[in-house]
Structure 1
Amino acid sequence: MPELPEVEVTRRGLMPHVFGRHILHARDHGQALRYPYPDWRILQGRKILDIQRRAKYLLFCLEGDGRLVCHLGMTGQFRCLPSNEEVAQHEQVCLHLDDGWSLRYCDVRRFGYMAFISESAFSSHPWFSHLGPEPLSDAFTPSWLIRCCRGRRCSIKHLVMDTRIVVGVGNIYASEALFRSGIHPARKAGDVGSEALIRLHAALREVLAEAIRAGGSTIRDFRRSDGRPGYFSHAFRVYGREGEPCVECGGVIQRFKQDGRSSFFCPSCQT
């Protein structure tokens, strides 16, 4: 599933192509996504003023009231293509723009979704009302993380993947940040000391920023808006490296199942 860096890379890649453009018309090709499509007539003639990101959501800010909200699900991706180019396999949605180009959404597994949300309903919408701070924002501080861990019996990895605590951190970047901070992913959040949590706070921000600069991580499906893969996967220190040597100590990276996902760690470097 695309995590914060992949969604942010997508946002940055789309902006030069769609900023200031008017949507002539929009349509889907009849293949259902996770939820029903919005009424595409609402978008007709609207100018795209900005693309923002909140957690793993893309927010197309439109002239007038409302935003087109998009979640990429497991395999969703956007491409900018000439409007006269044929519909590709697995293409679900096309937004035709006023410069002869179109914004195409493709989703092989169709777990993504879109909705039109008015400005007045946005902050209270159930997709957004519970979300914690952005990890790269000033609102996400070491003291916030320390406070959130107090008395918590869940694992530290579970906690940093909880969107009520901090948004956008999935399995890949949680694993990488915990390695850099020397914390075992199964350790109870309430047992992690303040110094280690300060390291984890810094590692989360560092890993996410590095991944954005590298264009995200491509494991199987993710592609940037220009079709290129993300290259941060070449810099993984633990994720997907079971049985390989640790880059720090030379020990063997191990894997175990945690909350239905694979967790990767170094038994020597992470306690």
Structure 2
Amino acid sequence: MPELPEVETVKRSLSGKLIGKEIRDLEIYFSGNIRRPDPLLMGEMIRGKKFLGIDRRGKYLIFTLSEDLALVVHLRMTGQLLYVDAAFPKDKHTHLVFSLSDGMELRYADLRKFGTFDLIPLSELPQLKGLAQLGVEPLSGDFTVQWLDQMLQNKNRSIKNVLLDQTIIAGIGNIYADEILYEGGIHPETIACNLTEDQVRQLWQATVKLLNLGIEHRGTSIRNYVDGDGRQGGFQELLKVYGRRGEPCVRCGSPIGKTKVQGRGTYYCPNCQPKV
């Protein structure tokens, strides 16, 4: 699933191309991705609207449209938003095509068909299910070491589970959680409230560092993630634990281990991230 760095990269790759463009038409090849409104109404509502802005909240993309509308998109497991020439052949998994005033198209392709689209009044954004429940943005000024320390004090569950909880910290998924914990030298099964003051600071620093590094390298392309131009990211070349079971740790040479934390496959170094 695209995580914060991937969604941020998609946002940045589309922003300069879409803002100011008018949506001339919408073709729907699979309506199951549309949550609101009824798919039969969506085309009618969105035709003639202009893109005014693009924002990201957690793993959501929020397109601000004219006439006080917002198009909220979650890519889920395999969703792709691609800005392409109208003459370019459509992928067989293309479900939605937004025809634009510059002769280009914004296409949504999704192998697994789990992505979601909500076209709603801007005034309803704060109440949109999923979006409304999101926690703090880890690259915002609200994400401080003091906030993190206070938040963890009453969390009697694994730190990996806390990092994945979107109602606490928005945007971190399985890949970056594993990389963050490795960077911080923290075992993924460590109970969150048992972290020392030094570990909390290390966790905070690792979170900010790894997410920014992921954005700098335009995200992680392990399966089918691409940005709005169809380009893969490069952060997969820098992964130190995720997907590297049995390979030597880049720090100590110990074999990378894999376990399950709350049902999620989890990679770590048993030596660099000792279980206390």
Amino acid at match of 1:5: P
Matched, 1:74 2:80: no
Equivalent residue of 1:220, what SS?
coil
Deviation at 1:126, TM superposition (A): 1.9
Equivalent residue of 2:33, what SS?
coil
Q: Tell me the matched-pair count.
A: 271
Amino acid at match of 1:33: N
Amino acid at match of 1:32: G
2:236 aligned partner: 233
Give the structure-1-normalised TM-score: 0.96
Equivalent residue of 2:32, what SS?
coil
**CA offsets per residue over residues 160-215 of structure 1, 9 Å max, x none?**
11112110000100100101111000000011112111110110111011111111
Equivalent residue of 2:200, what SS?
helix
| Alpha-carbon separation, structure 2, partners of 1:269 and 1:179 | 7
| Alpha-carbon separation, structure 1, partners of 2:85 and 2:226 | 18
Equivalent residue of 1:39, what SS?
helix
Corresponding residue to 1:205 among 205, 208, 211: 208
State whether residues 84 and 229 of structure 2, in contact with CA within 8 Å, keep that contact through their aligned partners in structure 1.
no
| Alpha-carbon separation, structure 1, partners of 2:213 and 2:127 | 32
| Alpha-carbon separation, structure 1, partners of 2:213 and 2:228 | 19
Amino acid at match of 1:7: V
Equivalent residue of 1:13, what SS?
helix
% identical equivalent positions = 38
Deviation at 1:146, TM superposition (A): 0.9
1:88 aligned partner: 91
Matched, 1:154 2:150: no
Note the 1:163-174 alignment, pairs <5 A: 163-174=166-177
| Alpha-carbon separation, structure 2, partners of 1:198 and 1:88 | 45
| Alpha-carbon separation, structure 2, partners of 1:17 and 1:155 | 42
1:244 aligned partner: 247
Amino acid at match of 1:13: S
| Alpha-carbon separation, structure 1, partners of 2:27 and 2:71 | 13
- List alignment gaps of at least 5 residues for structure 1: none
Corresponding residue to 2:222 among 216, 219, 224: 219
Deviation at 1:34, TM superposition (A): 7.0
Segment drifting more, 145-154 vs 207-216:
145-154
- Over the residues paired in the alignment, what is the CA RMSD in angstroms? 1.4
| Alpha-carbon separation, structure 2, partners of 1:40 and 1:202 | 45
1:30 aligned partner: 30
- List alignment gaps of at least 5 residues for structure 2: none
Matched, 1:269 2:272: yes
Matched, 1:111 2:89: no
2:19 aligned partner: 19
Matched, 1:129 2:132: yes
Runs of 4+ residues over 2 Å off in structure 1:
30-38, 83-88
| Alpha-carbon separation, structure 1, partners of 2:8 and 2:71 | 16
| Alpha-carbon separation, structure 2, partners of 1:84 and 1:250 | 51
Deviation at 1:83, TM superposition (A): 2.3
Deviation at 1:151, TM superposition (A): 2.7
Amino acid at match of 1:209: N
Segment drifting more, 76-85 vs 19-28:
76-85
State whether residues 34 and 111 of structure 1, in contact with CA within 8 Å, keep that contact through their aligned partners in structure 2.
no
Amino acid at match of 1:207: L
| Alpha-carbon separation, structure 1, partners of 2:88 and 2:181 | 44
**CA offsets per residue over residues 86-129 of structure 1, 9 Å max, x none?**
43311000111111111000001100010112122111222222
| Alpha-carbon separation, structure 1, partners of 2:154 and 2:13 | 41
Equivalent residue of 1:123, what SS?
helix
Give the structure-2-normalised TM-score: 0.94
